[in-house]
Structure formats: C-alpha cells, structure tokens
C-alpha cells in the first residue's frame, strides 16, 4: 500500500535535526560563510552526537541504524540551513560509509566503518582530478602493486573535506595497459588514510560557494597502502565509484529539496513585508508565479528523492530514480535560488539576507556528482534503451537496524 506518512522515528529525526541546525548553526552561518570558516568542532561534534554521521549504518557497525528515508530527511533539514552541512552527509555518510558497508571486507568495516559511523573518524571520496571529472576514463592516478603493497600516485581536486577527512575512498588505475585503452575494468578503489607518508592536502583557494564548508585537493606521492586497503576486487573501482555516487546523489537530491524549501520560505516572508505600488509584492502576479514555482519544485523534488529512498529501503536498484531526483532537484534549486534573490530585490544581492548565500551554494550541486548535462543524457539513454543498469556483485543492503 502507498503510504505518504512519515513514521514516528522519521518524524523525530526530522524534528531533532531541524532544531539542532536552527539552534546551533543558523545564528552563526552568515559569519562562518563570510569568514570561509568550517566550524569543525561545532558541526562535526554536533552531527556525531545526533548520530548523523552513521545514520543509515546498522548498529552492529557503530551506526544509528535508521532507514534511508531518515538519511534523506536529515540531508533536507541540513541544507535548509546551509549546503556545507549537507555536503558532510553526502561524502561521509553517503559516498563513503554506505560504500564500505556494501563493498568493504569485514576487517575494513571494523577498522574504518565503525569509527566513521560513530563520528570518531571522518571520510571523503576522491574521484575527480584536474583532468578528469565527468570523463572518469581520463583519470591519471595509479596504484602499482609492489612487495605486498600498492603504491599510489596522483592528484585529486575539488574534494569535499580534503583538509578534514581522516580516510578517503580513492579510485586509481591498477592495470596500466587498460589505462592506455581507457578500459574502466583497470580501475580499483582503495582506502587511503591521511596519516600515510606521501599524502598532502590543501584548500581550493578561489572557491565562491559553500564557503562554510571545506573543499580542496590532495596529492599522493608514492603513498604505500597495504593490500588490505583495496576495496572489493582489483578492477572493481569503476563499479564501486558509480555505486558510491548512487548514495551521494541521493543526499544531494534531498539536500537540494531543502534548499528549495529555504528559498520558498524566505521568499514568502519577504513578499509579505516589501510593498510596491501600494501593496505587498506578494500581491503581484509575477511574484506569485515565482513562489508557486518554488512550491511545485519543492513538492516534486521531495516525492522524487523519497521514491529513491523507498527503493533503497527495499534493497532495490535505484540508479535511474536517484539520478532523476538529483538532476531535477538541483536544477530546480538553481531556479528557486535565482528567483529568491529576485524577490528580495537589491537586498537579495547582499549578504544581509540568506538568499544570496543560497544562490552561491546551489550551483555546486548542479556540477558535482554528475553534472546537469550528464544526468540529462543518462535519462534520455535509459528511455532510448542505450543504457541499462546491470546487476553488480554487491548491492546496497535493504534497510535493517542491525
Ligand atoms: C563544491 C564541489 C565539491 C566537490 N566535491 C567532490 C568530492 O568530494 N569528490 C570528488 O571526487 N569530486 C568532487 N567534486 C568534483 C565534481 O564531481 C566534478 O567537478 C564534476 O564531476 C564535473 O567534472 P569536471 O569539473 O571535470 O567537469 P567536466 O567533466 O570537464 O565538464 C565540463 C562541462 O562539460 C560538460 N560535459 C562534459 N562531458 C560531457 C558530455 N559527454 N556531454 C555533454 N556535456 C558534457 C559538463 O556537463 C560541464 O558543463 C566537487 C565539485 C565541487 C564544485
């Protein structure tokens, strides 16, 4: 039976995250954003205390054991306040933890997933390089096997939490012949710890959005990791990277939905305050049109990410549905943020109101985890029969608490 009601646990989670973000982050976010400051202790400490960093990881692995709808709800509530908060859910909880849960060995789960889910360690995801984003085959990073170790070399750029995370999921070529032929079955995935010799990181200095978040690069100069750090089997790196994106995109979709709601609420408030031509601007039909569009975009985005979350709870493949949710909601969030600035007039063009920050923040999500163009092509390819999702060796486990 179709059921649109949230369970008691889901409602409680939603309320708890909403109150925490409103109390702890909202009053400070303007200053944090202005100062380009990632408030590590308050943000990560608070999220760990709420159990958000292991939200959908089973309790047996140190997580909160909540379902995937809770992961979406948390992402929506966090991005309602600021995108930088939701990014943590995307890379740590989504791209990394759920990938280790699905593809990691038992030893890897004990060594890495458990402390990550408890919030004792923070995790990132390193796919993109200066010369390779959408075109994963253009990656240059390599991992060469030598004396029972893999030696990694390469540079990853535009990496969320690059200066913060303790562990990274890194994709690199283990088969150099296949690298030459751009055959993705030559890629493998590794856990790389920041403490490894030869690891260095730094910030993306000229970034103009998600300023309260950490985004940077890291370099691997002859970084040795033991064979046990290989995730999955040699040659499964591409599949693992794409699997991870199914989880990250889900949080990006639900987060963008929260951003649309934030734009809607700010716009409704402002439209009732500002007057022109003797009436509130909310009385003008063209302003109503922008606000109505925000509402329809919010509701449609929410239904799309919830359907993807429902599929995840059932343990069913959701690459197509998650991709659609991510594409639709991020494009809609761009529209909502642009219109929110418009409604706020010149004030929207300053940091006095939050909508300018929403406008800067929304753009990242239209680029990362599959650009707008890549998602558009994917949806067309599904319909045209050029693309199908073949089963992979490991699939996201259906929702279970333990
Ligand atoms: C704030 C932020 C955080 C990020 N965090 C991470 C992270 O944690 N980990 C990580 O690995 N990466 C991260 N990224 C990187 C992000 O995933 C990439 O920027 C993204 O995948 C796009 O790749 P690219 O920048 O190389 O663009 P390109 O792939 O070079 O694309 C350039 C343009 O060409 C278009 N294009 C490319 N190929 C095609 C095609 N075949 N058909 C039509 N159009 C095409 C694209 O849509 C885009 O408009 C982050 C990026 C940002 C902005």
User: Which residue is it, tokens 């063009």?
Assistant: 349
Q: Residue 401 has what pLDDT?
A: 61
374 in contact with ligand 1, CB cutoff 6 A: yes
84 in contact with ligand 1, CB cutoff 6 A: no
> How far away, in angstroms, is 365 Cα from ligand 1 center?
10
Q: Residue 2 has what pLDDT?
A: 80
pLDDT digits (tens, 9 = 90+) for 98-111: 999 999 999 999 99
For atom 41 of ligand 1, which residue has the closest CA? 374
The SS3 call for residue 112 is helix
Residue 223 forms beta bridges with which residues? 152
Q: Residue 48 has what pLDDT?
A: 98
Active-site amino acid positions: 369
Query: In terms of Cα–Cα distance, which of 392, 396, 395 is closest to 238?
Result: 392
For atom 45 of ligand 1, which residue has the closest CA? 373
pLDDT digits (tens, 9 = 90+) for 264-313: 999 999 999 999 999 999 999 999 999 999 999 999 999 999 999 999 99
**Rounded average pLDDT per 10-residue block, the chain, 402 residues:** 91 98 98 97 98 97 97 98 98 98 98 98 98 98 96 98 98 98 98 98 96 98 98 98 98 98 98 98 98 98 98 97 98 98 96 97 98 98 97 93 60
DSSP β-ladder status, 187-193 and 142-146: unpaired
Query: In terms of Cα–Cα distance, which of 111, 123, 143, 137 is closest to 220?
Result: 143
Write out the H or E segment, with its range, that includes residue 76. Answer: helix 68-81
> How far away, in angstroms, is 246 Cα from ligand 1 center?
16
């Amino acid at each position: 039976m179709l059921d649109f009601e949230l369970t008691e646990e889901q409602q409680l989670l939603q309320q708890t995250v909403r109150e925490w973000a409103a109390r702890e982050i909202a009053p400070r976010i303007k200053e944090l954003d202005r100062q380009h400051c990632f408030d590590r202790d308050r943000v990560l400490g608070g999220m760990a205390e709420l159990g958000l960093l292991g939200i959908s990881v089973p309790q047996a692995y140190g997580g909160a054991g909540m379902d995937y709808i809770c992961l979406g709800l948390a992402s929506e509530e966090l991005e309602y306040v600021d995108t930088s908060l939701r990014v943590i859910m995307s890379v740590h909880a989504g791209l990394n933890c759920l990938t280790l849960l699905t593809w990691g060995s038992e030893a890897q789960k004990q060594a890495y997933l458990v402390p990550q889910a408890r919030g004792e360690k923070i995790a990132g995801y390193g796919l993109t390089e200066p010369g390779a984003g959408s075109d994963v085959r253009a990656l240059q990073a390599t991992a060469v096997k030598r004396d029972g170790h893999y030696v990694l070399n390469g540079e990853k750029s535009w990496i969320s939490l690059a200066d913060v995370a303790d562990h990274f999921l890194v994709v690199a070529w283990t088969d150099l012949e296949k690298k030459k032929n751009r055959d993705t079955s030559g890629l493998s995935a590794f856990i790389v710890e920041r403490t490894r010799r030869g690891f260095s990181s730094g910030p993306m200095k000229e970034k103009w959005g998600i300023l309260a978040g950490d985004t940077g690069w890291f370099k691997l100069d002859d970084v040795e990791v033991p064979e046990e750090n290989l995730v999955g089997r040699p040659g499964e790196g591409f599949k693992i990277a794409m699997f991870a994106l199914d989880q990250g995109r889900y949080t990006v979709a639900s987060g963008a939905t929260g951003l649309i709601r934030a734009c809607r609420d700010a716009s409704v408030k402002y439209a009732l305050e500002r007057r022109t031509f003797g009436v509130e601007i909310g009385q003008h039909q063209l302003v109503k049109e922008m606000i109505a569009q925000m509402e329809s975009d919010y509701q449609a985005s929410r239904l799309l990410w919830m359907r993807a979350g429902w599929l995840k709870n059932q343990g069913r493949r959701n690459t197509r549905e998650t991709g659609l949710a991510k594409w639709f909601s991020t494009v809609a969030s761009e529209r909502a943020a642009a219109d929110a600035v418009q409604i706020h007039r010149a004030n929207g063009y300053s940091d006095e109101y939050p909508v300018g920050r929403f406008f800067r923040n929304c753009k990242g999500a239209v680029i990362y985890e599959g650009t707008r163009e890549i998602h558009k092509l994917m949806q067309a390819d599904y319909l045209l029969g050029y693309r199908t999702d073949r089963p992979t060796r490991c699939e996201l486990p259906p929702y279970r608490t333990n």
